[in-house]
Amino acid sequence: MRFLRRCRSMVRALCLASVLAAGCLVRAALAAGSSCVSCHMNLGEAQAKIIRDFQGDIHHEAGLSCHSCHGGDPKTEDMALSMSPDAGFVGKPGPTDMPRFCGKCHSSPAVMKKYNPALPVDQESKFWTSHHGMELKKGNAKVAQCASCHLPHSIRKAGDPLSSVHSKNVAATCAHCHSDKEHMKGSGLPVNQFDKYMKSVHAGALYKKGDIGAPTCNDCHGNHGAQPPGVESIAMICGSCHAHNMELFNGSLMAKAWKKRGYHACATCHQHHDILQPNLDMLSGKGSVCLECHTPQHKGYQAGAAMKRGIEEGDAVYSEVTRFIDEVEQKKGMDVAEARDDIQEGRQALIQARTAVHGFDAGKVGEIASSARNALEKARTFGQKAAREFWRRRVGLGLSTLFITLVVAGILLKLRDIEK
Partner 1 sequence: MSSGFQGSRLFRWLDERFGAGRLIEWAGHKTVPVHRGTVFYYMGGVCLFLFIVQVLSGILLLMYYRVGPDSSFESVHYITTKVDFGWLIRSVHSWAANLLVFFIFIHMFSVYFMKSFRKPRELTWVSGFVLLCLAMAFGFSGYLLPWNELAFFATKVGTDIIGELPLLGEWMLKIVRGGEDVTGATLSRFFGLHVAILPGFTVVFLGIHLLFVQVQGMSHEGEAGSKAMPFFPNFLLRDLALWLVILNVLAILAVFFPWELGKKADALASAPEGIKPEWYFLFTYQTLKLIPGKVMAVPGELLGIVLFNLAGLLWFLVPFWDAGIPEGKRDRAINYLGLFVVMFIIAMTIWGKFS
Kindly list the residues in this chain that would bind partner 1 in the complex (CB under 8 A): 333, 335, 337-338, 393-394, 396-397, 400-401, 404-405, 407-408, 411-412, 414-415, 418-419
Listed as own residue / partner, the contacts of 123-129 with beta carbons closer than 8 Å and 24 or more positions apart are 123/224, 124/99, 124/100, 124/224, 126/222, 126/224, 126/225, 127/99, 127/224, 127/225, 128/99, 129/225, 129/227
Q: Residue 61 or residue 335: which is nearer to partner 1 going by CB?
A: 335
Q: Which of 140, 109, 137, 213 is nearest to 170 (CA)?
A: 213
Q: Residue 342 or residue 361: which is nearer to partner 1 going by CB?
A: 342
Q: Which of 130, 136, 124 is nearest to 218 (CA)?
A: 130
Q: Residue 228 or residue 396: which is nearer to partner 1 going by CB?
A: 396
Q: Residue 192 or residue 405: which is nearer to partner 1 going by CB?
A: 405
The least CB distance from residue 40 to partner 1, in Å, is: 50
Q: Residue 109 or residue 396: which is nearer to partner 1 going by CB?
A: 396
**DSSP-assigned states of every residue in 325-356:** HHHHHHTT----HHHHHHHHHHHHHHHHHHHH
Q: Residue 262 or residue 333: which is nearer to partner 1 going by CB?
A: 333
CA distance 159 to 145: 20
The least CB distance from residue 381 to partner 1, in Å, is: 15
CA distance 382 to 335: 10
CA distance 288 to 282: 4
The least CB distance from residue 414 to partner 1, in Å, is: 6
CA distance 408 to 186: 99
Number of CB atoms found within 10 A of residue 149's CB: 22
The least CB distance from residue 217 to partner 1, in Å, is: 37
The least CB distance from residue 394 to partner 1, in Å, is: 6
Task: Reduce the DSSP state of residue 179 to 3 states and report it.
Answer: coil
The least CB distance from residue 391 to partner 1, in Å, is: 11
